[in-house]
Structure 1
Amino acid sequence: MARRYISEPIVEYQMEKPYAAIAFETVDVEWEEAAALIPEIVEWLQKRKLKAEGMPLYRYWCSSGGDEAFTLEIGVPVDRMAAGDERVVVSTIPGGSYLKAIHRGHPDNLPESHEALVQWAQAEGLEFDKRWEEEYEIWNGRFEIFLTDPEIEPDPEKWEIEILLLLVRYEAA
């Protein structure tokens, strides 16, 4: 199993947390273009007297697994829920049990870390909270949260990014 870039995976419970984000579709994540949206989100928060409570995050909603576009949000955790608008959505990181690991290194290598986590979860018998609609894979909780501030550490080879993958929640009978 290729685990060159990630820490030892753990399962950890996360409380629900609101965030504000801008959604877009992309085939390949252009990290610089996506990161350029953060100042716009911060300005939006300031106008609404919302407080950012953490580092930028990416939420992956939908992919086809091929060369087609997938839906992604880039945002920041916030102190409370609020109404979004035509540009910025306000949603929540769902509460629940997540498979968690820390990716270390350039964001271009994140797919390798995700694949290692999926393989680890399969070996452990864990299931992700996702579903298929035709050829589209829909995730209820797939996040990357920056732990390193790129303004403080400009070398992406030294960045740390937390990967959170929501596990299936089973209802009690």
Structure 2
Amino acid sequence: MNIIEMPERHYVAVRRTITMTTFGLVADRLQEIFGWLAAKGVAMDGAPFFRFHVIDMAGELDVEAGIPVAVPVEPEGDFVAGTVPAGRYATVTRVGHPDRLLAVIEELRATPGLDFDMTDEADGEHWAARLEIYHTNPAEQPDMSKWEIELQFRLRDPA
């Protein structure tokens, strides 16, 4: 686990309210975003990611499937433009199937001294920025057990 300082980052995404069993409704849209950016001549500026806004593992999740871009882009249709806030992030990178991330997330969440930028509310955990970044291209490595995935969880600004 590392603590890193990250600048503000722009992205284009699809945002959905889903459950753990319907995650594909947002995840499967990444290829569509890639194609749209290519058609617009907009270059990616990093690896695709999932941004979790609200998490209730037993209920619903408010999630974006996004692709970083160097400059803000005017969205179309159900694509949204967003910004990941600058700040300090607790980060960990692992290689393995995405279904195996829960233990890594729990370990990161249990790290002493980390004050995550999130609040517990009636509908779940509300996060300022909680990202799963997928550094492996599935077209080049279809074996999901070999995917490199980075978690970045924003830490609360010091008082």
Tell me the TM-score normalised to structure 1 length: 0.84
The equivalent residue for 1:100 is 91
Change (3 A) 1:20 1:29: farther
The equivalent residue for 1:37 is 29
Partner Cα separation in structure 2 for residue 31 and residue 152 of structure 1 = 22
Instruction: Answer 1 or 2: which has greater strand percent.
Output: 2
Of 17, 22, 37 in structure 2, the residue corresponding to residue 25 of structure 1 is 17
1:163 is aligned to 2:154: no
Gapped regions of structure 1 (runs ≥ 5) = 1-8
Of 6, 14, 33 in structure 2, the residue corresponding to residue 14 of structure 1 is 6
Which amino acid in structure 1 is aligned with residue 156 of structure 2?
V
Deviation at residue 33 of structure 1 after TM alignment: 5.3
Change (3 A) 1:29 1:92: farther
Partner Cα separation in structure 2 for residue 108 and residue 29 of structure 1 = 12
The equivalent residue for 1:149 is 137
Which amino acid in structure 2 is aligned with residue 45 of structure 1?
L
Asked if the contact 2:16–2:26 (Cα under 8 Å) also holds between the matched residues in 1, the reply is no
Partner Cα separation in structure 1 for residue 90 and residue 14 of structure 2 = 25
Which amino acid in structure 1 is aligned with residue 94 of structure 2?
H
Q: How does 1:12-161 map to 2 (within 5 A)?
A: 12-28=4-20, 34-65=26-57, 67-120=58-111, 123=112, 125-161=113-149
Partner Cα separation in structure 2 for residue 113 and residue 15 of structure 1 = 24
Partner Cα separation in structure 1 for residue 81 and residue 147 of structure 2 = 26
Partner Cα separation in structure 2 for residue 33 and residue 157 of structure 1 = 22
Asked if the contact 1:31–1:107 (Cα under 8 Å) also holds between the matched residues in 2, the reply is no
Deviation at residue 40 of structure 1 after TM alignment: 1.2
Which amino acid in structure 2 is aligned with residue 74 of structure 1?
A
Change (3 A) 1:72 1:94: same
Partner Cα separation in structure 1 for residue 77 and residue 119 of structure 2 = 27
Gapped regions of structure 2 (runs ≥ 5) = none
Change (3 A) 1:157 1:77: same
Partner Cα separation in structure 1 for residue 74 and residue 81 of structure 2 = 6
Which amino acid in structure 2 is aligned with residue 167 of structure 1?
L
The equivalent residue for 1:6 is none
RMSD: 1.8
Deviation at residue 35 of structure 1 after TM alignment: 4.0
Which amino acid in structure 2 is aligned with residue 72 of structure 1?
V
